[in-house]
Structures are given as C-alpha cells and as structure tokens.
C-alpha cells in the first residue's frame, strides 16, 4: 500500500474543544505528520463549543500563528453532530437507541474516511463522552490501515480540563486555575500518547467489508447469535405473493426468490421434525429426497397439490406460477428420475447463501445456510428445532 500524502485529524469532542489545539500541539512537538484538515464528531452542544472557541474566538488560528504552522482546513461544516435514533442532532446520547445510532455514525464515518488511501487518519480519543471515545477507538480497530494513527493527549494535571487553557504558549500567559491558583500557560506540559493500532482490516479484510454494508448493531447481534444458536428465532411465512423469513429482528422478503425460500424451508422443516437433513450426494438413496422436499415446499407455498408419483405436472405448474425458472424445470425433466444432482444441490445452496448475504452479516448467514460436519454427514441448519416457526403452512 502506498503512503498517503495528506493527513486528516479526526476527533470526538464534548464540552472541551481545547483537545483539538492540545492534540495539534502534541503533533507539532513530536514531529508527526501535520494535518491538512480537521473534522470533529460531537453533540449539538459540543458543536457550539467548538465553533465559538476554535473558530469565533480564533484559538486554532492563534496556535498556528504562534508556532508558525500551516492552518488546517476547518469550518463549521466540518463539525459533524451525531444523530439520535430518530436522525435528529443529539444533545446527549443517553438511551440505548441513541447509543446504537451513535455507534453506527462513528463507525460508518471512519469506514468512509478510510476508503481514501491518499489520506492518513489521525484519530484522537482525547475528548467527548466515554462512549464516543470507545466507538472511535473501536472503529479505528476495524478500519485502521498500517499508516493511520490513534492517539490520546496528556496534559499537566493543573491545566487539564481548564476552560481557559488551549496550548502551551511561547510567552508567559496567566490563567485562573483551581483553588484560586494562577497558572502560567507557558509552563504547561502536553504530551501526545500514541496508541498502538492493530486493526481487523490488517487481519481480516472480508470482515471489514461487512461494516460498509451493515450497521454496527446488526453485526454485533449476528456474532452474538452465532455464539448462542439456541437463542436464534427463525420464522418462515408462507405468503404466496411474498414469502418472508424473519431472523431475530430482521425480516427478509423472497418475493422473486421462491426457490431459495423453499430450500431454506425444506431444511427448516427437517430440523423441526428432528430429521437428519439432506445429503448432497445423489447415490444415498436411503436418505431423505432433497428434490422432493423442495418441490413439496414450493407446492405448499403456491397452494398446489403435490404428487410425488407425477412430478412432471408439478414442475410445469410451478414454472407457470413462476416458482421455478424454465431452465431448472427443463433440466429436471431431462433426467430419468427428475432429481437434482449433487452439483444442483451446491448451486441451490450457493444461491441461498448469496441472497442472504445481501441482507445479513456473515455470522447470521452461516446460521441460515445448511452446514455439514463432513462428507459422510448430512447438511443441516444449526438452529434449534424448537426455535423454528412456520406461518401459513
């Protein structure tokens, strides 16, 4: 990966916007890459504090002038207010729903900024509420690249959180401290503490891609469910016009993917009835018939009478209803027993997996796609039988 030519300072702030100037001072003193741009993630109250102090009162300009530093690009439009669960600017995220919205906003912001390999992200967790700093650090641990930085800033105790202190000055400048003590800003010590960063992007790029498609909460829930399959709720709704699958709190529509729905339904019904499942190999004649199971589920969905002794009529009716495409029907008609072979089994399973992957994180998809423990074992759903419900069938 080529090295970036620009640096973005991205920070969370709250009531103390001076963490921006303190961080910039630390960057300057330690000879790190000087940022060309600053972005802040904060609350509506934090935005007003950053605007008034860094822009209106000119604290950012004063730092750059005093140390002869390039003024980074920064304006009110680069102060981003975190939304609440309803999408409104949040003053203080306190509910569970607001916390989830906060997490998604911060994670997706970092995901977006990390797409540009010409820009290094220097993320600062020196300000803001603990939840904000956690999620910023967490997001960097997912999307950070080998050239990105994550840091905290340490300030002399008597100057820490002092609303009058913004950076150590070159000349003596006194401010009020605690307990009526006068402090000299030129004597303050500020140190940038860089936090070692080993990210999921470096270890597992495929997992990172999921965060660009799904919310933080969806992925965490999927991973948690994968660890506790006994808690997974699966409901299959046999709505002829639009069959649906509900997994946890997520509902997936299979309107034009009825064959995929039937595959999942066949495996779910086998599990519900404590049956072993289905083998991919066609030579296992003593086991449950995979083709018949799918066709029966499709006939149930379409309200068609199923006759295993007369599959041609069923196939033609299912093609007419649009449940099976003509290519599949013709292929089944051509073979003497009108059965899927092991390649068809794999193709059908892959089709279901690809469709589910558009709607669910991988950890959840793995619970809904039939799995096997080896060639001599059948494919089954990992979900517990008593957690499966059928509606309309």
The rounded distance, in Å, linking the Cα atoms of 149 and 8 is: 10
Q: What's the pLDDT tens digit per position in 46-75? A: 999 999 999 999 999 999 999 999 999 999
Instruction: Give the per-residue pLDDT at 203.
Output: 65
Q: For residue 285, with 0-12 CB atoms within 10 Å meaning exposed, 13-18 middle and 19 or more buried, which class applies?
A: exposed
The rounded distance, in Å, linking the Cα atoms of 299 and 306 is: 6
| Dihedral (CA of 333, 334, 339, 341) sign | negative
The 3-state DSSP class for residue 85 equals coil
Is the pLDDT reported for residue 335 higher than 70? no
Residues 64, 20, 183, CA angle at the centre, nearest 5°?
A: 80
Instruction: Give the per-residue pLDDT at 288.
Output: 61
The rounded distance, in Å, linking the Cα atoms of 223 and 360 is: 11
Confidence label for 24 from pLDDT (cuts 50, 70 and 90): very high
Which has more confidence, 140 or 88? Answer: 140
Say how far residue 321 (Cα) sits from the centre of its chain: 37
Is the pLDDT reported for residue 359 higher than 70? yes
Would you put residue 338 in left (φ > 0), alpha (ψ -120 to 50) or beta?
A: left
| Residue range 332-350: mean pLDDT, rounded | 77
The rounded distance, in Å, linking the Cα atoms of 136 and 144 is: 11
Mean pLDDT of all residues in the chain? 86
- Reported as half-sphere exposure (CB side, CA atoms, 13 A), residue 103 has a value of 19
Q: Are 28 and 1 in contact (CB under 8 A)?
A: no
Is the pLDDT reported for residue 170 higher than 90? yes
Instruction: Give the per-residue pLDDT at 224.
Output: 66
Instruction: Give the per-residue pLDDT at 384.
Output: 87
| Dihedral (CA of 329, 330, 333, 334) sign | negative
Decide which of 3.40.50, 3.30.2010, 1.10.520, 3.40.190 is the CATH code for 6-212: 3.40.50
Instruction: Give the per-residue pLDDT at 267.
Output: 93
Choose the weakest-confidence range: 110-124, 214-228, 343-357, 359-373: 214-228
Is the pLDDT reported for residue 284 higher than 70? no
The rounded distance, in Å, linking the Cα atoms of 75 and 123 is: 18
Is the pLDDT reported for residue 4 higher than 60? yes
The rounded distance, in Å, linking the Cα atoms of 89 and 79 is: 12
Q: Are 149 and 27 in contact (CB under 8 A)?
A: no
Confidence label for 322 from pLDDT (cuts 50, 70 and 90): confident
Structural domain spans, the chain: 6-212, 225-391
Confidence label for 354 from pLDDT (cuts 50, 70 and 90): very high
Confidence label for 14 from pLDDT (cuts 50, 70 and 90): confident
| Residue range 247-263: mean pLDDT, rounded | 89
The rounded distance, in Å, linking the Cα atoms of 34 and 37 is: 9
Q: What's the pLDDT tens digit per position in 91-104? A: 765 667 777 888 88
Calculate the dihedral angle through the C-alpha atoms of 262, 268, 271, 277, rounding to the nearest 10 degrees. Answer: 30
Choose the weakest-confidence range: 24-33, 175-184, 222-231: 222-231
Percent of the chain with pLDDT over 70: 90
Which has more confidence, 134 or 85? Answer: 134
Choose the weakest-confidence range: 75-84, 263-272, 278-287, 350-359: 278-287
């Amino acid at each position: 990966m080529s090295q970036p030519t620009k640096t973005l300072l991205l920070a969370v702030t709250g009531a103390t916007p001076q963490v921006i100037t303190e961080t910039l001072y630390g960057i300057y003193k330690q000879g790190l890459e000087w940022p060309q741009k600053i972005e802040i993630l904060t609350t509506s109250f934090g935005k007003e504090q950053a605007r008034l102090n860094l822009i209106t009162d000119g604290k950012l300009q004063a730092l750059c002038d005093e140390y002869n530093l390039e003024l980074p690009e920064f304006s009110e439009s680069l102060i981003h207010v975190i939304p609440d669960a309803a999408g409104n600017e949040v003053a203080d995220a306190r509910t569970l729903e607001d916390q989830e919205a906060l997490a998604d906003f911060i994670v997706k912001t970092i995901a977006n900024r990390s797409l540009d390999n010409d820009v290094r992200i220097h993320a600062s967790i020196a300000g803001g509420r603990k939840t904000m700093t956690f999620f910023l650090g967490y997001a960097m641990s997912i999307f950070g690249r080998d050239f990105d930085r994550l840091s905290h800033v340490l300030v002399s105790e008597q100057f820490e959180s002092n609303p009058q202190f913004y950076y150590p000055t070159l000349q003596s400048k006194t401010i009020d401290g605690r307990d009526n003590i006068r402090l000299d800003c030129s004597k303050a010590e500020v140190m940038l503490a860089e936090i070692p960063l080993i990210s999921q992007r470096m270890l597992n790029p495929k997992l990172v891609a999921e965060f660009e498609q799904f919310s933080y909460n969806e992925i965490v829930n999927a991973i948690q469910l994968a660890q506790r399959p006994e808690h997974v709720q699966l409901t299959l709704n046999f709505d002829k016009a639009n069959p649906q699958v509900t997994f946890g709190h997520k509902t997936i529509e299979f309107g034009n993917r009825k064959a995929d729905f039937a595959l999942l339904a066949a495996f779910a019904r086998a599990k519900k009835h404590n049956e072993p499942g289905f083998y991919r190999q066609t030579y296992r004649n003593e086991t449950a018939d995979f083709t018949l199971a799918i066709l029966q589920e499709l006939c149930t969905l379409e309200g068609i009478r199923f006759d295993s002794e007369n599959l041609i009529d069923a196939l033609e009716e299912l093609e007419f209803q649009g449940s099976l495409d003509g290519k599949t029907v013709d292929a089944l008609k051509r073979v003497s027993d009108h059965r899927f072979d092991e390649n068809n089994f794999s193709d059908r399973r892959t089709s279901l997996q690809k469709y589910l992957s558009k709607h669910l994180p991988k950890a959840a998809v793995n619970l809904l796609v039939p799995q096997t423990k080896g060639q001599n074992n059948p494919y089954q759903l990992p979900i517990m039988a008593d957690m499966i419900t059928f509606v309309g069938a």
